[in-house]
Structure 1
Amino acid sequence: MKKTLHGMLTLFMVLVVQLVFAQEKNVSGTVVDEGGLPLPGVNVIEKGTNNGVQTNFDGEYNISVTEGSTIVFSYVGYSKQEFVVGNSNTIDVTLEVDAAALGEVVVLGYSTKGVEEVTGASVQVAGEELASNPTVTVDQALQGKVPGLQISQSSGTPGSVQDIRIRGVSSIGAGNDPLYVIDGVPVINSNATGSTARSSLSPIASLNSQDIETITVLKDASATAQYGARGSNGVIVITTKKGKSGEAQFTFNSRVGFQNDAYNKRTVLTGPQRYELLGEALLNSYGPNGSVQDYGVTTPAEAIGLIPSVDANYDGTSVYNWSDLIKNEDALTQDYNFSATGGDEKGSFYASLGYNKTEATVIGSTFERLNGVMNFSRKLRDNINFSTNMNVSRITQNPILEQGSYFSNPFITRFLMNPFNNPYNEDGSQNIDLAFGSLHNTLYVLDNNITRNELIRGISNSTLDWELFDGFTFSNKLALDYQIANYRDYQNRYEGDSAPVNGASTASDNKNYNWVYQGSFNYGFTLGDVHNFDFTTLFEYQKNQGYYMYAYGENFPADGLTYITSASANYDASSSFSDWYNVSYLGIVNYNYDGRYVIDGSIRREGSSRFAPEQRFGTFGAVGAAWNIHRENFMKGSVFNSLRLRTSYGITGNNAIGINNYQALLSYGATYGGNGGATPSQFGNADLTWEKAENFDVGLIFGLFNNRLSGSVTYFNRRNYDLLQGVPLSLTTAFSNQSQNLGEMTNSGIEAELSFDVISTEDFNWNIYGNYASVDNEVTKLALGADGEPIDPNGGSSYKSTEVGRPVGGWYMRTWAGVDPETGEPTWYENGVDGETTSNYNTAEAVYQGASALPTYSGGLGTRVSFKGFFAEADLYFAGGHKIYEQYAQFYLRTNSFSLGSYNGATELLDRWQQPGDITDVPKVDYGVNNNFHATSSRHLFDGDYVRLKNVAFGYNLPSSWANSIGIDGLMLTLRGTNVATWLKDDGLLLDPEVRADGYTRLTTPPVESYTLGVNVKF
């Protein structure tokens, strides 16, 4: 015991002496890479302390440390090095490239590359940025973070499909959606709902943003050509989290908040306002100078007497606010996630469980998701690694009938319900005997109908890597994606679409099975220390099968019966099967000389069952090059610590056409004399092939002053050709047209990113960043008709036209000239441009309106400030250069009996012309006259330019020492708002400017403004 105490005392005295008499000394030196070039910005820190500096522009450093301590040198993409401080005051260091670290920087789907090895245009967003955004679908969180990526919501209903375009549209007659790749495997992301009339349901909504490691957006041929016939529209690569070695770590995230409509200034007439306009409109039609007939009425009050039902059912003063009734104010959103990760030198795991429940901002719609993830990796032998990822989820959604002008669409009720109708009876029950118009009582319909989308999705991805010898690896990957989508719709017996048939029920079951096998060989080696080679060959087989079953029944004998088995009449059922497959052979070559000059290339031979056997295979490929200028000797001592020039060129494809479009088909749904019959249904074209895109891309990437200022500038040009277009056929064929590969168009533009650390100290940091992208779309070739003139793919639409020399789907309509101040009549320009005007809508000429629905520019701007654990951030998104058409103006901006008799009108009608000399853009109200004010014209076409404050957040990270004192590893609190403000260029646009890619405002759930409180605990 005495010896032990003596030993402890001696040790204590030695430590005291060392602490008291330890000598401080200055250590300096240089830090260079393997080529001898200086590395500015290297972190130099005394191990175990907060004492550290960074190397300057020449790679030099100077640090005061304790003799005998250890100095750690670290830099992104290089192996960390440690040195013990001895007698020397100089330590020169050469950092070696860490190939493993570089490989984690950019994930390209089939491969990973170091940031200095990438020759193409790609942007990678970290999972932390995505997880902090309270969106149900993770792709929505990319808005404003990637230049050239335009995202708009098809609906704000939680879980709906997003409209996404990468560098504009690439097709006229085929799909424009990007390809989604999860953990290196292409997946299916089409709408999973059983009804195109109701809210859509995105399979991506099955993924939890908390489980995402990175999302990489691939934009140019150097990256997308590896995906062959599916790369023309761009690729979104999603990588899920993997396990981390070490002691098990646990994380719990919770986020609770509320949301409302982000932007909606469109209001409708109240009962008294409409009562006023109704009397005036009736008087203008049936008064002394009536436009229809003089019925002897001389005042608005007398004129209203012409419609006895008004006097019988409305007192002229009551306010029935249907708009507010269908809102779900402060809709609740909840999100909870628990995860664990850990491992040892042999393997690691990541597991999580998540739950999300989000209400929509309209009554009757809720989204719910329960998901679990289990990712596991294990070193089976020194040269064999195995990993498997499992992601299982169940999502449900109560979709609303919002994708059209349906009487049960709650937004139709919000804007068109006659405000003379009382929603409730005297006893408080819901009124289903509405006196005015033909709309249903949405309150009753939503309470008594049953509508549900359900998607159960399981994704399994297993990989076995076998390193046969040093640098040569044989990989096998098998991925399964199984989606089961169920749709159920019961419509009650008393009110709504199925009241005439005493109730109806619909059910459908849609199963999609997608499996992919990839087998590849990869060989990487170095010659002479400067010649670095990497070769990959890959075989991929993808098979997709779809099963669909549908059933229907009507006439229910009693309340409470909602399933088809209880229906008693008009049964209907159908089923179908579809399948397709792709077979691909891919080769990838990467070479770099001394980290300075990079060349890569890829070639893919792909076959798709969507085309005839003679046209089934196509060849796609790309080449890219990069010059890491900052590694050259002549850059030594410059302010640039990163300067890269890159370029790429290649051919990609688009096979997003219908299955069996190339075949001449018969349909067998006909009957003849009680027997089955067949009818011709498709003419077919055995020469159909892929749409193709020729891509050129050049960019400059830079970083200055220890990367305090960094960014990039890119120019791209994409020529899409062999575009599908319907070509008229002779009527003797019994078909109107045939799809052929004839069209062509180009997209070109500039993309730029910039980030600047305004202040960067140990305690205080301030960063600003932004991105900008332009897209110029032009149609250069169309199929020719029998008259030798180009065929308009829009087929004479009253809204749009596609012409050579102009963008796809340019707005094409009559040009509004205003209201005649003397007569109150609407007018349009006769020649469609200027000069003479006419009140005869049919004699005015329709012309191109100078823009399309496609934004010509978009981008984001943001800032982040942090101080001693506190942080604040804000992000803007903007888009413009396009026009938006308010399609439903045709209903609520009529000045006659439609808006003022049966339904309702917008409050803009209060600005109507009333007497000669009035200057307004709303004609006089005239009950019995159709003046075509509501018809398609530039009156309802608005500039689409807008800026949206996407994200504002304030938070606090508890210092680790404080967190440890209460038994946890970390704690972060965050208050976040999304879509908190919106600014529009055009004051006339009163509905939300974030619309689908076709440019029409619709009466659907708009994007939401939300506020959430988040808690993140690590232990």
Structure 2
Amino acid sequence: MKKRLHGFLTLLLVLVVQIGFAQDKTVSGTVVDEDGLPLPGVTVLEKGTGNGTQTNFDGVYTLEVGNGSVLSFSYVGFASQDIKVGAADSYDVTMQTDADALAEVVVLGYSTKGVEEVTGSSVQIGGAEIAESPTVSVEQALQGKVAGVQISQSSGTPGAIQDIRIRGISSINADNDPLYVIDGVPVSNANISGSANQTSLNPLASINSQDIASITVLKDASATAAYGARGSNGVIVVTTKNGKKGETSFTFSSQVGFQNDAFNKRESLTGAQRETLLREALNNAYGANGTNGDFGFTVDNAIDTAIGFNLLSPATADFDGTDYDWDGRIRNDDALTQNYTLSASGGDDLSNFYASVGYNNTEATVIGGEFERINGAFSYDRKLRDNVQLATSVNVSNTKQNPVLENGTFFSNPFITRYLMNPFNNPDNADGSLNINLPFGSLPNIFYVQDNNITRNALTRALVNTKLDWEIFTDFTFSNRLSMDYQLNEYTAYRNRYEGDADDFNGDATVSDEKNYNWVYQGSFNYGFTLADDHNFDLTTLFEYQKNQNSYLFGYGQNFPVDGLIQINTASAAFDADSQYTDWINVSYLGLLNYNYAGKYVVDGTIRREGSSRFPSGERFGTFGSVGAAWNVHREDFMNTDLFNTLRLRGSYGITGNNNIGLNSYQALLTYSANYAGNGAGFPSQFGNNDLTWEKGETYDLGLSFGMFDSRLTGSFSYYNRRTYDLLLAVPLSLTTGFSSQTRNIGEMKNSGIEAELGFDIISTKDFNWNISANYATVENEVVELATGADGQELDPNAGSVYTTTRSGLPVNTWFMRTWAGVDTETGLPTWYVNGVDGEVTSNYNAAQRVDQGANALPTYSGGLGMRVDYKGFFAEANAYFQGGHKIYEQYAQFYLRTNSFTLGTYNGVQELMDRWQQPGDVTDVPAVNYAQNNNFHATSSRHLYDGDYVRLKNLSFGYNLPSAWANEIGLDGLSLTLRGTNIYTWVKEDGLKLDPETRADGFTRLTTPPVESYTLGINVKF
């Protein structure tokens, strides 16, 4: 204990000395290349502080640093150098060329290019920035950082799938999720939760953010065409860390904090409020002026009289005004979040390695949800011979998630209880035990359910990636890569015998195993060469084979004889079992060409011939590709490099495909699940289509990027236009065929928009740096063509929806419903516009016309704002995310915004009902309450449709980086401390929007765990 105290006091003393008493000195010198020529713009940093500068154009630097500090010199294309400051005042540096330097390069998955060689639209986020984000799934760190990428949480429960759209949606019926590539290999990232009704489980949550080197988002055809069909929705390339040459170094990082709901202003009625409304509703129905006749009801005697008429339970009279805090007890306030990682890295001239072990434990902000992950990563690179290089990596994790029953209107959904539980119910018995005989309503006691049910996903994932490079002759390399990704999820659900969804059959148990095995082989030849000094070529040919196998095993049983037994073999009735197997194959042949002349003019081309087992044999192969060009204007002799140090123009055109539909959509199928007199039987289940083939996308992209005043001002601008045709649509069939629909290639839609990014170093000095950044993107979606019926009229793919429509000239899934006209000030009844627009109104819901509401669920604009300030090792950072131009629908208003017995007799409503109409002349948007009247106030209309515009302060952090000189005094190479808050403030445009505005891509607010507001303390130690 004394040792720990002494160490803490020493660290505190070092911090005080560094802050207040450090002695600085001025050092200077020159920076040249191997030929002795000055290098302009070399970055010189004092390690551990971030203080630094860039050399002038004559290659001379001057910097004020502390005695004993270490200077780090870095420059694109050259190996970094570290020099320790001693007694001398001048230090000259000669930079050595490093052909493998990763600075200023973009990882594109199949290839890695310098930023000046890229013709497509891509954005790369560094690993340090990702590691700082205290999120379970690494892709969450991208929100607000990449223009044109919209990320929404489907649930705030830890480990849930994220909804990600890159440049909007490209398909109506096929999948719109991006492709995920890890270390150059496409992987499967589908939900692997054991139940569709429970919280989803994201396979990407199995990867520790501390093990990520970078994430690159590929957006246009030039960037994604190498991935063929699977890249049609954009590509997210994840690159994990590997080792570096040098003495073995260790890093320990810790993030500990707590979290709560980020935004939730929807509150339920208290018991007293509900009693007030109940009396009023009964009087309005059965009182002197009651809509159902005068039965002697008054506000004062309403409850007793209703009990006499058997309208209410006698227990209603026992309510004494006590508020039972169902809402507060359902919330898990200040939910704990922890993430720890220990890593090691090192190497020599022949080999290098990186190894890590990590642990994460994150509680949900609602009772019953918890996430735990243990993971280990190891990568090893070895030069086997002068021309043979081996690289292998292994990432293994075990993830446990306690999912929440939140994906539907289930009685044991805790959020249903939160809003619909009758507040007259006392959750506890007089002896303190939980009450499982609630007198009001049909909802179970969620606290007993959570204590006595077991629900768990246990995902084990092993991702192995091995690559062997053989340089047959100079710059001509034959590469072989084999990757195996094995995901095994074990799902266990036991529901108790006494309370909840299984009490009617004395408890039940469900167990399932899902195994997803994805393996990929890539064989490629790459040749890079130069002709006549200035003509630089890079050629790649690649063959890729990918196979995915998925197996599913399910078991079920009911009626447990005693408590404590949860396995199916102890059940005694209603046994059920199921097993399924699916697989698919993709085969691809790829050619890549990159050419540049003297680094000024860049041309690249991609062609991919791809076959998919999802289509019939004659239609399986499609040819996709792209061409792109870029002009590095700043390299021209006529450019004034004092003004523009970077100026690039680029453009691209390409065609990609989409095959993300059901595995057997093209086949005419029989299903053998029928029971005929106790014997198995088959029946036709799918019509099939032997002409089914690829959905295709044609994309144009133009862009400009620049850096001015030694890159103090940087920015980019892009315009894109994407046309998707041969849409994979389910087209209705005549019922005389015996089938309802058939998947066909028909229809067209388009997306277009702009993207802009800007960064500016407002102040950049030795001690003080202040940087701001912003990005902004738009997307405009329009359906151009759809299938037509026998009458020549378009067939709406959303014809059965009461919420949306899809028609030519409108965006996909445009909100289509009756238009709210307000509450009649004289009668207190709800009204809607008869023609759906204006003028005459009606209180007859069915007499009002459904119309286009002028928006859909997809934001038409989004972006981010950022700022960072550094001062002598101290730093502060803030980032915000915004989106809008769309509308979102509060779907559960149909339950808790009713004004009759459903809400006031059986369940409960929300406090908005307190603003109800009470007398002629009242102006409100909540009708009069009436126990016996269904006025359709809760039904689908624009009353419950809200502008989705919001701004969220995503990140606010403060921290300190201890200079390496002072860290060395206590035996460390570096130490940093960070206090970070995420999602700490949310502004919404429309006050009526009470639930979190961050919805799924379909635009419905749901009763699920909202995104979280968190506060964490991070410590990073290097030794």
TM-score (norm 1): 0.93
Structure 2 CA distance for aligned equivalents of residues 80 and 157 of structure 1: 42
Residue 228 and residue 28 in structure 1: after superposition, are their counterparts in 2 closer, same or farther (change >3 A)? Answer: closer
Residue 436 and residue 461 in structure 1: after superposition, are their counterparts in 2 closer, same or farther (change >3 A)? Answer: same
1:976 aligned onto 2:980? yes
Residue 444 and residue 45 in structure 1: after superposition, are their counterparts in 2 closer, same or farther (change >3 A)? Answer: closer
Residue 808 and residue 51 in structure 1: after superposition, are their counterparts in 2 closer, same or farther (change >3 A)? Answer: closer
Aligned match of 1:449: 453
**Partner residue of 2:315 out of 309, 312, 315:** 312
Aligned match of 2:379: 375
1:172 aligned onto 2:172? yes
User: The residue matched to 2:726 in structure 1 has which SS?
Assistant: strand
Unaligned runs of 5+ in 1: 1-23, 84-90
Aligned match of 2:252: 252
- Cα displacement (A) at 1:28: 8.6
Aligned match of 1:120: 120
User: The residue matched to 1:833 in structure 2 has which SS?
Assistant: coil
Aligned match of 1:20: none
* Residue identity matched to 1:685: N
Aligned match of 1:885: 889
Residue 487 and residue 54 in structure 1: after superposition, are their counterparts in 2 closer, same or farther (change >3 A)? Answer: closer
Aligned match of 2:190: 190
Structure 2 CA distance for aligned equivalents of residues 52 and 749 of structure 1: 39
Is the CA contact 2:51–2:767 (under 8 Å) kept in the aligned structure 1? Answer: no
Aligned match of 2:6: none
Aligned match of 2:946: 942
- Cα displacement (A) at 1:299: 2.9
- Cα displacement (A) at 1:82: 13
Report Cα offsets for 1:733-759 as digits up to 9, x if no partner. 110111111121111001010010011
Aligned match of 2:504: 500
Aligned match of 2:201: 201
* Residue identity matched to 1:892: Y
Aligned match of 2:391: 387
1:987 aligned onto 2:978? no
Structure 1 CA distance for aligned equivalents of residues 46 and 867 of structure 2: 31
1:1016 aligned onto 2:1015? no
Is the CA contact 2:485–2:519 (under 8 Å) kept in the aligned structure 1? Answer: yes
Report Cα offsets for 1:649-697 as digits up to 9, x if no partner. 0001111111111000000111223222101111111111111110110
Aligned match of 2:17: none
- Aligned counterparts, 1:203-602, within 5 A: 203-307=203-307, 309=312, 311-313=314-316, 314-602=318-606
Report Cα offsets for 1:908-965 as digits up to 9, x if no partner. 1100000000000000000000000000000000000000000011111111111100
Residue 436 and residue 29 in structure 1: after superposition, are their counterparts in 2 closer, same or farther (change >3 A)? Answer: closer
Aligned match of 1:899: 903
Residue 588 and residue 51 in structure 1: after superposition, are their counterparts in 2 closer, same or farther (change >3 A)? Answer: closer
Number of residue pairs the alignment of both structures matches: 983
Residue 379 and residue 834 in structure 1: after superposition, are their counterparts in 2 closer, same or farther (change >3 A)? Answer: same
Is the CA contact 1:779–1:805 (under 8 Å) kept in the aligned structure 2? Answer: yes
* Residue identity matched to 1:520: S
* Residue identity matched to 2:327: S
Aligned match of 2:665: 661
1:153 aligned onto 2:149? no
- Cα displacement (A) at 1:123: 0.3
- Cα displacement (A) at 1:79: 6.5
- Cα displacement (A) at 1:175: 0.3
- Cα displacement (A) at 1:400: 1.1
Aligned match of 1:7: none
Aligned match of 1:825: 829
Structure 2 CA distance for aligned equivalents of residues 486 and 441 of structure 1: 27
* Residue identity matched to 1:792: D
**Partner residue of 1:839 out of 826, 839, 843:** 843
User: The residue matched to 1:305 in structure 2 has which SS?
Assistant: helix
Structure 2 CA distance for aligned equivalents of residues 347 and 793 of structure 1: 57
Aligned match of 1:603: 607
- Cα displacement (A) at 1:297: 1.9
Is the CA contact 1:466–1:475 (under 8 Å) kept in the aligned structure 2? Answer: yes
- Cα displacement (A) at 1:426: 1.0
* Residue identity matched to 1:433: N
Structure 2 CA distance for aligned equivalents of residues 45 and 966 of structure 1: 22
Is the CA contact 1:531–1:593 (under 8 Å) kept in the aligned structure 2? Answer: yes
User: The residue matched to 1:176 in structure 2 has which SS?
Assistant: coil
Report Cα offsets for 1:97-138 as digits up to 9, x if no partner. 854336861000000000100100000000111110000000
Structure 2 CA distance for aligned equivalents of residues 319 and 407 of structure 1: 21
Residue 358 and residue 1014 in structure 1: after superposition, are their counterparts in 2 closer, same or farther (change >3 A)? Answer: same
Residue 922 and residue 174 in structure 1: after superposition, are their counterparts in 2 closer, same or farther (change >3 A)? Answer: same
TM-score (norm 2): 0.93
Residue 303 and residue 26 in structure 1: after superposition, are their counterparts in 2 closer, same or farther (change >3 A)? Answer: closer
Aligned match of 2:14: none
- Cα displacement (A) at 1:731: 2.0
Report Cα offsets for 1:44-94 as digits up to 9, x if no partner. 7999x99996455xx34556799xxxx9985323567999xxxxxxx9999
Structure 2 CA distance for aligned equivalents of residues 929 and 577 of structure 1: 51
- Cα displacement (A) at 1:457: 0.3
* Residue identity matched to 1:741: N
- Cα displacement (A) at 1:795: 1.6
Structure 2 CA distance for aligned equivalents of residues 170 and 51 of structure 1: 45
More displaced 10-residue stretch of structure 1: 629-638 or 991-1000: 629-638
Structure 1 CA distance for aligned equivalents of residues 42 and 480 of structure 2: 38
- Cα displacement (A) at 1:43: 4.4
User: The residue matched to 2:638 in structure 1 has which SS?
Assistant: helix
Structure 2 CA distance for aligned equivalents of residues 372 and 29 of structure 1: 41
* Residue identity matched to 1:108: L
- Cα displacement (A) at 1:27: 8.3
Is the CA contact 2:282–2:302 (under 8 Å) kept in the aligned structure 1? Answer: no
Aligned match of 1:8: none
Structure 1 CA distance for aligned equivalents of residues 458 and 342 of structure 2: 23
- Aligned counterparts, 1:783-798, within 5 A: 783-798=787-802
Residue 637 and residue 726 in structure 1: after superposition, are their counterparts in 2 closer, same or farther (change >3 A)? Answer: closer
Aligned match of 1:849: 853
Residue 452 and residue 50 in structure 1: after superposition, are their counterparts in 2 closer, same or farther (change >3 A)? Answer: closer
Structure 2 CA distance for aligned equivalents of residues 636 and 597 of structure 1: 18
Aligned match of 2:4: none
User: The residue matched to 1:284 in structure 2 has which SS?
Assistant: helix
Structure 1 CA distance for aligned equivalents of residues 27 and 454 of structure 2: 77
Is the CA contact 1:282–1:927 (under 8 Å) kept in the aligned structure 2? Answer: yes
Structure 1 CA distance for aligned equivalents of residues 132 and 340 of structure 2: 13
Structure 1 CA distance for aligned equivalents of residues 612 and 629 of structure 2: 30
* Residue identity matched to 1:942: Y
Structure 1 CA distance for aligned equivalents of residues 221 and 538 of structure 2: 19
User: The residue matched to 1:387 in structure 2 has which SS?
Assistant: strand
* Residue identity matched to 1:329: D
* Residue identity matched to 1:841: Y
Aligned match of 2:9: none
Residue 828 and residue 514 in structure 1: after superposition, are their counterparts in 2 closer, same or farther (change >3 A)? Answer: same
Is the CA contact 1:493–1:556 (under 8 Å) kept in the aligned structure 2? Answer: yes
Structure 1 CA distance for aligned equivalents of residues 962 and 828 of structure 2: 67
User: The residue matched to 1:633 in structure 2 has which SS?
Assistant: coil
Report Cα offsets for 1:429-472 as digits up to 9, x if no partner. 11111111111111111111110011000000000000000000
Residue 887 and residue 300 in structure 1: after superposition, are their counterparts in 2 closer, same or farther (change >3 A)? Answer: farther
Structure 2 CA distance for aligned equivalents of residues 678 and 252 of structure 1: 60
* Residue identity matched to 1:1008: V
Structure 2 CA distance for aligned equivalents of residues 895 and 672 of structure 1: 48
User: The residue matched to 1:635 in structure 2 has which SS?
Assistant: coil
* Residue identity matched to 2:496: N
Is the CA contact 1:33–1:39 (under 8 Å) kept in the aligned structure 2? Answer: no
- Cα displacement (A) at 1:796: 3.4
Residue 96 and residue 596 in structure 1: after superposition, are their counterparts in 2 closer, same or farther (change >3 A)? Answer: farther
1:957 aligned onto 2:967? no
Residue 667 and residue 741 in structure 1: after superposition, are their counterparts in 2 closer, same or farther (change >3 A)? Answer: same
